[in-house]
Structure 1
Protein backbone atom coordinates (compact mmCIF):
# COMPACT_ATOMS: atom_id res chain seq x y z
CA UNK A 1 0.00 0.00 0.00
CA UNK A 2 1.09 3.54 -0.73
CA UNK A 3 -0.08 6.85 0.75
CA UNK A 4 -1.91 9.31 -1.50
CA UNK A 5 -3.86 12.54 -1.33
CA UNK A 6 -6.86 13.18 -3.55
CA UNK A 7 -7.46 16.87 -4.18
CA UNK A 8 -11.10 17.37 -5.15
CA UNK A 9 -11.64 20.48 -7.23
CA UNK A 10 -14.21 23.12 -6.37
CA UNK A 11 -16.17 21.57 -3.53
CA UNK A 12 -17.32 23.44 -0.42
CA UNK A 13 -15.86 26.71 -1.74
CA UNK A 14 -17.86 29.91 -1.40
CA UNK A 15 -21.03 28.05 -0.45
CA UNK A 16 -21.07 26.12 -3.74
CA UNK A 17 -20.89 22.40 -4.50
CA UNK A 18 -21.54 21.52 -0.88
CA UNK A 19 -20.59 17.96 -0.04
CA UNK A 20 -20.02 16.67 3.48
CA UNK A 21 -16.47 15.45 3.92
CA UNK A 22 -17.88 12.60 6.01
CA UNK A 23 -19.83 11.46 2.93
CA UNK A 24 -16.69 11.59 0.81
CA UNK A 25 -14.74 9.64 3.44
CA UNK A 26 -17.48 7.00 3.53
CA UNK A 27 -17.38 6.64 -0.27
CA UNK A 28 -13.60 6.16 -0.18
CA UNK A 29 -13.82 3.55 2.60
CA UNK A 30 -16.69 1.68 0.92
CA UNK A 31 -14.63 1.62 -2.30
CA UNK A 32 -11.80 -0.27 -0.61
CA UNK A 33 -9.36 2.53 0.15
CA UNK A 34 -7.66 2.27 3.52
CA UNK A 35 -6.56 4.69 6.26
CA UNK A 36 -9.01 7.29 4.86
CA UNK A 37 -9.08 10.69 6.50
CA UNK A 38 -9.81 14.23 5.39
CA UNK A 39 -8.20 17.56 6.05
CA UNK A 40 -10.31 20.71 6.07
CA UNK A 41 -13.60 21.07 4.25
CA UNK A 42 -12.43 21.79 0.72
CA UNK A 43 -11.78 18.33 -0.66
CA UNK A 44 -8.51 16.96 0.72
CA UNK A 45 -8.70 13.18 1.17
CA UNK A 46 -5.70 11.22 2.43
CA UNK A 47 -5.78 7.48 1.87
CA UNK A 48 -3.77 4.34 1.24
CA UNK A 49 -4.14 2.25 -1.90
CA UNK A 50 -2.28 -0.13 -4.15
CA UNK A 51 -0.28 1.99 -6.58
CA UNK A 52 -2.15 1.96 -9.89
CA UNK A 53 -0.59 4.92 -11.62
CA UNK A 54 -1.93 8.40 -11.16
CA UNK A 55 -4.22 8.86 -14.19
CA UNK A 56 -6.05 5.53 -13.64
CA UNK A 57 -6.42 6.27 -9.92
CA UNK A 58 -7.82 9.75 -10.65
CA UNK A 59 -10.30 8.34 -13.18
CA UNK A 60 -11.39 5.59 -10.78
CA UNK A 61 -12.01 8.06 -7.95
CA UNK A 62 -13.88 10.48 -10.23
CA UNK A 63 -16.12 7.67 -11.45
CA UNK A 64 -16.80 6.40 -7.92
CA UNK A 65 -17.61 9.88 -6.59
CA UNK A 66 -19.90 10.67 -9.50
CA UNK A 67 -21.73 7.34 -9.16
CA UNK A 68 -22.16 7.64 -5.40
CA UNK A 69 -22.64 11.39 -4.94
CA UNK A 70 -24.34 12.06 -8.29
CA UNK A 71 -22.02 14.97 -9.02
CA UNK A 72 -19.07 15.07 -11.41
CA UNK A 73 -15.80 16.10 -9.76
CA UNK A 74 -12.32 16.76 -11.03
CA UNK A 75 -9.84 14.84 -8.88
CA UNK A 76 -6.08 15.32 -8.80
CA UNK A 77 -4.12 12.59 -7.00
CA UNK A 78 -0.57 12.82 -5.69
CA UNK A 79 1.42 10.14 -3.93
CA UNK A 80 3.31 11.04 -0.79
CA UNK A 81 6.52 11.02 -2.85
CA UNK A 82 5.07 13.23 -5.57
CA UNK A 83 3.76 15.73 -3.04
CA UNK A 84 7.15 15.77 -1.29
CA UNK A 85 8.80 16.47 -4.65
CA UNK A 86 6.38 19.35 -5.30
CA UNK A 87 7.08 20.89 -1.89
CA UNK A 88 10.85 20.48 -2.26
CA UNK A 89 10.88 22.09 -5.73
CA UNK A 90 9.10 25.29 -4.64
CA UNK A 91 10.88 28.52 -5.51
CA UNK A 92 12.92 30.22 -2.80
CA UNK A 93 10.68 32.32 -0.58
CA UNK A 94 7.46 30.59 -1.65
CA UNK A 95 5.26 30.64 1.44
CA UNK A 96 7.14 33.45 3.15
CA UNK A 97 5.27 35.91 5.36
CA UNK A 98 5.58 38.64 2.71
CA UNK A 99 3.71 36.55 0.15
CA UNK A 100 0.39 34.83 -0.27
CA UNK A 101 1.44 31.59 -1.89
CA UNK A 102 -0.51 28.79 -3.56
CA UNK A 103 0.14 25.62 -5.50
CA UNK A 104 -1.90 24.99 -8.65
CA UNK A 105 -1.97 21.20 -8.97
CA UNK A 106 -2.37 20.11 -12.59
CA UNK A 107 -4.51 17.19 -13.72
CA UNK A 108 -2.92 14.82 -16.18
CA UNK A 109 -2.38 15.29 -19.13
CA UNK A 110 -1.89 19.04 -18.49
CA UNK A 111 1.81 19.68 -17.87
CA UNK A 112 3.49 22.56 -16.10
CA UNK A 113 5.24 23.50 -19.34
CA UNK A 114 1.99 23.61 -21.33
CA UNK A 115 0.14 25.55 -18.64
CA UNK A 116 3.01 28.00 -18.14
CA UNK A 117 3.17 28.68 -21.89
CA UNK A 118 -0.51 29.70 -21.88
CA UNK A 119 -0.33 32.04 -18.89
CA UNK A 120 -1.58 35.58 -19.42
CA UNK A 121 0.57 38.49 -18.39
CA UNK A 122 0.59 38.79 -14.63
CA UNK A 123 1.18 42.01 -12.70
CA UNK A 124 4.87 42.86 -12.49
CA UNK A 125 6.01 43.39 -8.90
CA UNK A 126 2.85 41.74 -7.52
CA UNK A 127 2.43 38.29 -9.02
CA UNK A 128 4.89 35.53 -9.75
CA UNK A 129 4.38 32.08 -11.23
CA UNK A 130 6.92 29.25 -11.50
CA UNK A 131 6.80 25.69 -12.80
CA UNK A 132 7.16 22.61 -10.65
CA UNK A 133 6.55 18.89 -10.98
CA UNK A 134 2.90 18.64 -12.01
CA UNK A 135 2.20 22.05 -10.54
CA UNK A 136 2.53 25.79 -10.85
CA UNK A 137 3.62 27.87 -7.88
CA UNK A 138 1.78 31.17 -7.62
CA UNK A 139 2.62 33.96 -5.21
CA UNK A 140 1.49 37.52 -4.83
CA UNK A 141 2.95 40.16 -2.56
CA UNK A 142 0.68 40.17 0.50
CA UNK A 143 0.65 43.96 0.80
CA UNK A 144 -0.42 44.25 -2.86
CA UNK A 145 -2.70 41.21 -3.05
CA UNK A 146 -5.71 43.27 -4.17
CA UNK A 147 -3.78 44.18 -7.34
CA UNK A 148 -3.24 40.57 -8.45
CA UNK A 149 -4.17 39.43 -11.94
CA UNK A 150 -4.68 35.80 -10.99
CA UNK A 151 -8.33 36.05 -12.06
CA UNK A 152 -7.04 36.02 -15.66
CA UNK A 153 -5.69 32.51 -15.10
CA UNK A 154 -8.90 31.42 -13.38
CA UNK A 155 -10.92 32.54 -16.42
CA UNK A 156 -8.95 30.32 -18.80
CA UNK A 157 -10.30 26.93 -19.99
CA UNK A 158 -7.17 25.15 -18.71
CA UNK A 159 -8.06 26.27 -15.17
CA UNK A 160 -10.76 23.55 -15.18
CA UNK A 161 -7.89 21.01 -15.10
CA UNK A 162 -6.28 22.53 -11.99
CA UNK A 163 -7.03 22.60 -8.31
CA UNK A 164 -5.47 25.15 -5.97
CA UNK A 165 -4.25 24.74 -2.42
CA UNK A 166 -2.57 27.32 -0.25
CA UNK A 167 1.06 26.70 0.57
CA UNK A 168 0.10 26.14 4.20
CA UNK A 169 -2.45 23.45 3.28
CA UNK A 170 -0.02 21.85 0.81
CA UNK A 171 2.74 21.50 3.40
CA UNK A 172 0.24 20.31 6.04
CA UNK A 173 -1.03 17.59 3.69
CA UNK A 174 2.55 16.39 3.26
CA UNK A 175 3.03 16.33 7.04
CA UNK A 176 -0.14 14.27 7.42
CA UNK A 177 0.97 11.80 4.74
CA UNK A 178 4.35 11.43 6.42
CA UNK A 179 2.69 10.73 9.79
CA UNK A 180 0.75 7.76 8.42
Structure 2
Protein backbone atom coordinates (compact mmCIF):
# COMPACT_ATOMS: atom_id res chain seq x y z
CA UNK A 1 0.00 0.00 0.00
CA UNK A 2 1.14 3.58 -0.64
CA UNK A 3 1.56 6.06 2.20
CA UNK A 4 2.56 9.64 2.83
CA UNK A 5 4.53 10.54 5.95
CA UNK A 6 4.53 14.10 7.26
CA UNK A 7 7.49 14.84 9.53
CA UNK A 8 6.90 17.84 11.73
CA UNK A 9 9.61 20.41 12.35
CA UNK A 10 12.50 19.20 10.22
CA UNK A 11 14.43 21.59 7.99
CA UNK A 12 12.60 24.60 9.43
CA UNK A 13 14.67 27.70 10.09
CA UNK A 14 17.90 25.73 10.01
CA UNK A 15 16.78 23.37 12.78
CA UNK A 16 16.69 19.58 12.65
CA UNK A 17 18.30 19.50 9.22
CA UNK A 18 18.06 16.21 7.35
CA UNK A 19 19.19 15.81 3.77
CA UNK A 20 16.41 14.27 1.71
CA UNK A 21 18.81 11.64 0.36
CA UNK A 22 19.54 10.61 3.96
CA UNK A 23 15.84 10.58 4.80
CA UNK A 24 15.14 8.30 1.83
CA UNK A 25 17.90 5.95 3.01
CA UNK A 26 16.42 5.93 6.52
CA UNK A 27 13.01 4.91 5.15
CA UNK A 28 14.60 2.23 2.97
CA UNK A 29 16.51 0.89 5.99
CA UNK A 30 13.11 0.34 7.64
CA UNK A 31 12.12 -1.89 4.71
CA UNK A 32 9.92 0.62 2.92
CA UNK A 33 10.00 0.75 -0.88
CA UNK A 34 9.35 3.28 -3.64
CA UNK A 35 10.58 6.01 -1.29
CA UNK A 36 10.34 9.55 -2.64
CA UNK A 37 10.64 12.89 -0.89
CA UNK A 38 8.92 16.14 -1.73
CA UNK A 39 11.15 19.23 -1.68
CA UNK A 40 12.99 19.74 1.64
CA UNK A 41 9.82 19.63 3.73
CA UNK A 42 10.06 16.17 5.24
CA UNK A 43 7.08 14.86 3.30
CA UNK A 44 7.82 11.31 2.18
CA UNK A 45 5.88 9.05 -0.17
CA UNK A 46 6.56 5.34 0.25
CA UNK A 47 5.12 1.84 0.07
CA UNK A 48 4.86 -0.61 2.94
CA UNK A 49 3.19 -3.96 3.37
CA UNK A 50 1.42 -3.15 6.62
CA UNK A 51 0.08 0.02 8.17
CA UNK A 52 0.40 -0.77 11.85
CA UNK A 53 3.16 1.13 13.63
CA UNK A 54 4.50 3.08 10.65
CA UNK A 55 4.56 6.50 12.33
CA UNK A 56 6.09 5.08 15.50
CA UNK A 57 8.78 3.18 13.58
CA UNK A 58 9.76 6.27 11.58
CA UNK A 59 9.81 8.53 14.64
CA UNK A 60 11.89 6.01 16.59
CA UNK A 61 14.39 5.62 13.72
CA UNK A 62 14.86 9.41 13.59
CA UNK A 63 15.31 9.51 17.38
CA UNK A 64 17.97 6.79 17.20
CA UNK A 65 19.85 8.27 14.22
CA UNK A 66 19.63 11.99 15.00
CA UNK A 67 18.63 12.21 18.66
CA UNK A 68 15.54 14.31 17.88
CA UNK A 69 11.94 13.78 18.80
CA UNK A 70 10.02 14.30 15.57
CA UNK A 71 6.25 13.84 15.45
CA UNK A 72 5.22 11.81 12.40
CA UNK A 73 1.80 11.48 10.81
CA UNK A 74 1.24 8.74 8.23
CA UNK A 75 -1.78 8.62 5.92
CA UNK A 76 -2.62 6.33 3.06
CA UNK A 77 -2.47 7.97 -0.33
CA UNK A 78 -6.15 7.08 -0.76
CA UNK A 79 -7.15 8.78 2.51
CA UNK A 80 -5.32 11.93 1.50
CA UNK A 81 -6.97 11.88 -1.92
CA UNK A 82 -10.38 11.63 -0.22
CA UNK A 83 -9.63 14.67 1.95
CA UNK A 84 -8.99 16.82 -1.12
CA UNK A 85 -12.03 15.67 -3.10
The two structures have a TM-score, normalised by structure 1, of 0.45
Q: For the aligned residues, what is the CA RMSD?
A: 1.2
**Structure showing greater Rg:** 1
1:92-148 superposed Cα distances (whole Å, 9 cap, x missing partner) = xxxxxxxxxxxxxxxxxxxxxxxxxxxxxxxxxxxxxxxxxxxxxxxxxxxxxxxxx
Q: Which runs of 4+ in 1 moved over 6 A?
A: none
Select the structure with the greater relative contact order (CA < 8 A; seq sep ≥ 6): 2
Where in structure 1 are there 5+ consecutive unaligned residues? 89-180
In structure 2, what is the equivalent of residue 80 of structure 1?
Answer: 77
Where in structure 2 are there 5+ consecutive unaligned residues? none
Corresponding pairs, count: 85
Indicate whether 1:70 and 2:64 are aligned: no
The two structures have a TM-score, normalised by structure 2, of 0.91
